[in-house]
Amino acid sequence: MSIAAHPPARIGDRLEDVDTPALIVDLDAFEHNLDRMAALLAPTGARLRAHAKTHKCAVIARQQIARGAVGQCCQKVGEAEALAWGGVPDILVSNEVVGRAKLLRLASLNRLARVGVCVDDPAQVDAIEAAAAEIGVRIETLVEIDVGAARCGVPAGEGAVPLARRIAASKHLTFGGLQAYHGSAQHYRTHEERRAAIGKATDATAASVEALKRAGLACRIVGGAGTGTFEFEAASGVYNEIQAGSYVFMDADYGRNLDSAGQPISTFRQSLFVLATVMSAPAKDRAVLDAGHKAVAVDSGLPLVWGQHGLNADIAFVGASDEHGKLKLGPDAPRLGLGEKVKLVPGHCDPTVNLHDWYVGVRAGRVEQLWPITARGAMR
């Protein structure tokens, strides 16, 4: 709806003059993250197919591609439309798509860009074939295998072969390979837990690749991984596409992952914030922000408060109503005044982005970029 779409700032505004709540991107930290991922993947030979469910923005997708990403993945046809319409040429819907209306949209989009899709059921293969035939296009189709997340996907190993054969035998489909993502492993807190889970996922994926090879079916794409585990998949020699998304922004939940020395991981910098304003300061130890859970998602925990150079441990975000965020000020925190701006680190970046229509890109305290979140709400 266009009413919500007015940007909260103008180019050149000072950060403190941005209207709130607003979604702020620290452009230096953001570009550091893009560069860092490209540098980490380069020696492994694994390609980056960054996940657009995080950013929902073709402007960001194209910056990833400019640094070597092969393309994007996403979860919904509507997201793929926003990306293709925004100039992204190579997209994988890393998810099942069910229903004739959506499959016709997916097929038609293949006239503008390469847009692949995943299946875990023979009925889906036939439905995608029918849509591709009706529009007259060829659709690259991957088999999703369950590598430990117990969500979608056929069993790994031989389980992938019948579906892959059915795809390969379909006149308008190309067998594209395997989707092998272990979602829950991204958030296992210790390095060892993540390493062990992805070790198993990699074994299951390798067995599937081998079974397909014996059946004469080659995998152009063996895709998976996220920000929590991508270093394991990239080094595996089995995965060749990395689907990390959150690394561009990071969030409080990823901030709780630990490295092999038991320390918080510092590979990427926090670049995404929700800027909020103190709208009530009724007690010495309390301030109320104009940002509640309609401005910052709470599915993975409450946001944290950011200080000048990192997390501010003296102020706790203790409660989110729809449009109120309640802060508890510790004994060492200076009292917050009416109108003061506070930067929040979202608990979970992806659904927080989905609440906003604009990124406000800031560098050196000034608004430098305004990018539309064109796939916001594209859930179909």
CB of 324 vs a copy of itself, minimal distance in Å? 6
CB of 109 vs a copy of itself, minimal distance in Å? 13
Inter-residue contact 223 to 49 (CB < 8 Å): yes
**Of residues 3 and 261, the one with the C-beta less far from a copy of itself:** 3
Q: How many whole angstroms separate alpha carbon 193 and alpha carbon 203?
A: 16
Residues constituting the chain: 380
**Of residues 40 and 346, the one with the C-beta less far from a copy of itself:** 346
The two three-digit tokens of residue 187, written as one number: 């958030």
CB of 373 vs a copy of itself, minimal distance in Å? 7
Q: SS3 of 350, please?
A: helix
Q: Is 256 exposed, middle or buried (0-12, 13-18, 19+ CB in 10 A)?
A: middle
Q: How many whole angstroms separate alpha carbon 135 and alpha carbon 105?
A: 9
**Of residues 222 and 302, the one with the C-beta less far from a copy of itself:** 302
CA triplet 179, 180, 182: central angle to 5 degrees?
135
CB of 344 vs a copy of itself, minimal distance in Å? 13
CB of 254 vs a copy of itself, minimal distance in Å? 14
Q: How many whole angstroms separate alpha carbon 354 and alpha carbon 20?
A: 16
Instruction: Tell me the one-letter amino acid at 279.
Output: M
CB of 271 vs a copy of itself, minimal distance in Å? 19
**Of residues 194 and 240, the one with the C-beta less far from a copy of itself:** 194
**Of residues 8 and 240, the one with the C-beta less far from a copy of itself:** 8
Helices (H), the chain: 27-41, 52-55, 58-66, 77-85, 100-109, 122-135, 161-168, 191-214, 230-235, 349-353
**Of residues 268 and 358, the one with the C-beta less far from a copy of itself:** 358
CB of 243 vs a copy of itself, minimal distance in Å? 13
**Of residues 19 and 203, the one with the C-beta less far from a copy of itself:** 19
Rounding to the nearest 10 degrees, give the CA dihedral for residues 63, 347, 272, 31. -50
